[in-house]
Amino acid sequence: MNLFQRFRYTIEADLHQVFDKKEQKNPIAMLNQYIREAEKQTEQTGKLLERQGQLKEKLEVEFKDNSALLAKRKSQLQLANTSGEQDLIEFATDEVAAYTARKNTLQTSIEASTREYFELERKFETMKHKIKDMKVRQLQLMGKENVTRAHHQMDGILAKNNKTNFEDLESYIDKLAFQIDKDHEVTTFEARLAALEKNATDASSPLLIENK
């Protein structure tokens, strides 16, 4: 192992160690990063799959054009044989041989390209399913993390060292309720006194008229 390879492996080991520490510290954040990287790689794979499909289509177009030219040259070879012109016969024969060889090559390439395309497509679909599974796992972990935090906060609030806080709060609520009841009582008394005054005034009004 040369110096450059040792240096590269050392750097990679250090990076893995850093990632492991980050994962232990914040697993959700690291999982989010893994998902983003997986989505990026899947997108790149999708582009390669698309390009493979385009190449396959081009091979099929070449095969179609070559087949048409081969049929044409075979027809011309028949005419050349009928005419007996040797130079035309040789030319048409060479052309038929060339187009036939190209047809066989294209046929083999198309078959191989088709197999490769479907293999890539299958793996691409598998990658997309894996990402979906990772996102489901992400939601599960986020739910567990949220529940853990909620329990921690609730346990802290309900702990004995926070009993005074609840007692202070209850005392404040009692005082507030007492004040509201007192204000309501005063208001009621004032209303009753006002009613008595009004009744007294109404009762004395006819007597004043009669005295006059």
- pLDDT level of residue 136 (50, 70, 90 thresholds): confident
C-beta of residue 49 within 8 angstroms of C-beta of residue 110? no
User: Is the model more confident about 12 or about 67?
Assistant: 67
The first and second tokens of residue 175, run together, are: 């005082």
Q: Is the pTM of this model over 0.85?
A: no
66 within 8 A of 106, measured Cβ to Cβ: yes
Query: CB burial class (10 A; 0-12, 13-18, 19+) of residue 182?
Result: exposed
- Residue 97: predicted pLDDT: 96
The string of pLDDT tens digits covering residues 73-108 is: 999 999 999 988 899 999 999 999 999 999 999 999
**What pLDDT was estimated at residue 158?**
66
Note the pLDDT tens digit of each residue in 113-123.
999 999 888 88
pLDDT digits (tens, 9 = 90+) for 173-197: 777 776 766 666 666 767 777 777 7
Mean pLDDT throughout 25-39? 74
For the chain, what percent of residues have pLDDT higher than 70? 70
Mean pLDDT of 48-77: 93
Q: Say which residues have a Cβ less than 8 Å from residue 116's Cβ, sequence separation at least 6.
A: 52
| Stretch among 13-17, 107-111, 141-145, 189-193 having the lowest mean pLDDT | 13-17
**What is the pLDDT of the chain when averaged over all its residues?**
77
CB within 8 Å of 77: residues ≥ 6 apart: 89, 92, 93, 95, 96
In degrees, rounded to 5, the angle at the alpha carbon of residue 14 between the alpha carbons of residues 23 and 135 is 30
| CA 200 – CA 204 distance, rounded (Å) | 6
Which whole-number Å values give the CA distances from 181 to 177, 185, 186, in the listed order? 6, 6, 9
Rounded mean pLDDT of 57-78? 94
Top pLDDT among 131 and 23 is at 131
Range 61-68 average pLDDT: 96
